Chains A and B, each alone.
Chain A
Amino acid sequence: MNWMDITTKELQAVFISRIIKNGWYVIAGIGAPIPRAGIMLAHLTQCPDLRIIMSDYFVEFLNEEELRDFTSYSDPGLEKNAEYTFSPELRYETARLIDLMFLGGIQIDTYGNTNLIGIGQDFRGLKLRGAGSIGAPSMASLTKRYIIFSNNHNERTFVDHCDFISTVGWHKGGNSRKQLGLPGGGPIYVISPLCIMDFTEDTKQMRLKHLMPGVKKEDVVKNTGFDLIIPGDISLIPPPSEIEIGTLRTRVDPKGLLRI
């Protein structure tokens, strides 16, 4: 195994797959190919009993030799692996069972609060109107935990304060999320192209955990618009095993979409 041969996207998927435990309920979003690859990799390597929700379907892929890519909610191929489907109403009635979901943000702040609404100070004159937050605000307040996944890492995305908050992370830090009384568990990791971050146990500020290969600590600090907590020792993500990378490349991502 040549370590240098692994792409950031592949490593992100491997990291995600290792978090997931057998028997969990997870949501694999259509518009999030890397988290979905991580979920599928976990499913095919160490989580045969994973319950996966994709679009509005409960799906199972264990015997698929090669998984295909999904880009649309209406993809007719989803039904091929579906065992159950539910209405949008029932999504919220099973949300408390969900062990892990993913969401993104056009802004993410130091406490993991995220913004899918828009950028600007005036709501009726936004600089950028976001597409809307779909189900994320309520879903992420109910699920046991979630991961924030960002396709970029710069000062425009990682900001000191979100202009608007569509999903509450650790709110204002400390035990402020708990005081809001939200039933869900909150964000556990933030994954970006530069690094993996988690949150400090007491203040709930975002903290650097792993750097992606070739990325320096300074790169992350420079591209983050708030004071990221930098611990003394920053470990690398343990390299993928032959089984992990083999399964990822031959079955989960046979077209190499994570290698582009």
Chain B
Amino acid sequence: MREKRKDVSLKLQEIEGFLFDGMSLAIGGYLTANKPMALIREIIRKGIKNLTIISLPSGIDVDLLIAAGCVKKLMCPYVGMESLSPIAPFFRQKAQRGELEIREVDVALVILMLRAAALNLPYLPWKGVVGTSIPELNSDLKVIQDPFGNGELIAVPALSPDLALIHAAQSDIYGNVQHKGRSFLDGLMARASQKTLVQVEKIIPNEQIKFNFLDTTIPSALVNGIILAPLGAHPLSSQRYYDVDERHIREYVELAQKYQRGEEDGFKDYLAKYVYGPHSLEDYLEVVGTKRLLHIMKI
């Protein structure tokens, strides 16, 4: 009998098999764009703990995971909300209390760790942070001598995350993913990670992928699960679909700051309302409300 090609599409609630305590997660997107927020909220709801997070510059995505007590170790070159909160509130508080194991990195080091993993190399050499405090503040790094006699280099060890979480525009049910606009480090994260889950705004027929195969940014060979998640990057932006919900970020920052001053109710309500309460994306979007959603979609 003729075998059927595997459909890798999943519901948000069905990702449990990919998750375990103490795992390492690569989070795609960049700063305020294309962050897999629906997946992140699901991980918090599932109560996964002791995560190692690796990502490019981040904001509410990583701060929310920290706030919910899911993060043990962090390799992230920036955690903040730009002008709305230059340093993310829970990142700052837990870092200052020594409750996060921070491996200090910059963008280049994150790229090199993943690239080494994708290439199946033990490490890649780099000159970039020689002379800074970063090698002292990141015990994964080693200072080595250039065998060609050009002084010190940093050996950046390979890191293959257990799972990459990515947000993209569209995919077929087999996991051929297409971004609209930039794809940041998402492709490298998929190439470097053990497994990859991608949440998409839209699932499209395989014929459409084939018709525009040059637009495919991550091939099905690298993708283990596709989750239909329209508006799933909210409150952050999804390129070509919607902008950042600035009012939501501002509300988060204000409630987080109040929480840290002892007024804890507001932030607890926030978590109940937006994270723990809505068990599906539909319920979440209903809580956010049509007006906000139309506003960020510029409709």
Contact = CB atoms under 8 A, between A and B. Distances in A.
A181 B102 CA distance: 27
Interface in A55-111: 56, 71-74, 76, 79, 85, 87-89, 91-92
B56 A88 contact: yes
Nearest to A179: B151
B61 interface: no
Contacts of B76: 132
Interface in A93-131: 117-118, 122-131
B245 to A, nearest CB: 11
B244 A72 contact: yes
A122 B132 CA distance: 16
B201 interface: no
Given A88-B30, A123-B137, A126-B96, A138 B79 contact: no
Contacts of B91: 129, 131
A180 B129 contact: no
Interface stretch (B2-10, B18-26, B178-186, B257-265): B178-186
Contacts of B87: 129-131
Residue from A30, A85, A87 having most chain B Cβ neighbours under 10 A: A87
Interface in B155-213: 181-185, 187-188
The 6 A-B pairs of least Cβ separation, nearest first, read: A138-B128, A138-B108, A124-B98, A168-B131, A181-B151, A131-B80
Interface residues of A, number: 49
Interface string B30-41: 111100000000
B106 A133 contact: yes
B82 interface: yes
Contacts of B183: 87
B167 to A, nearest CB: 13
B108 A92 contact: yes
B184 A88 contact: yes
Interface in B79-117: 79-80, 82-83, 86-88, 91-92, 95-98, 102, 104, 106-109, 111, 115
B246 to A, nearest CB: 8
A180 B79 contact: no
B134 interface: yes
Interface in A124-147: 124-139, 141-142
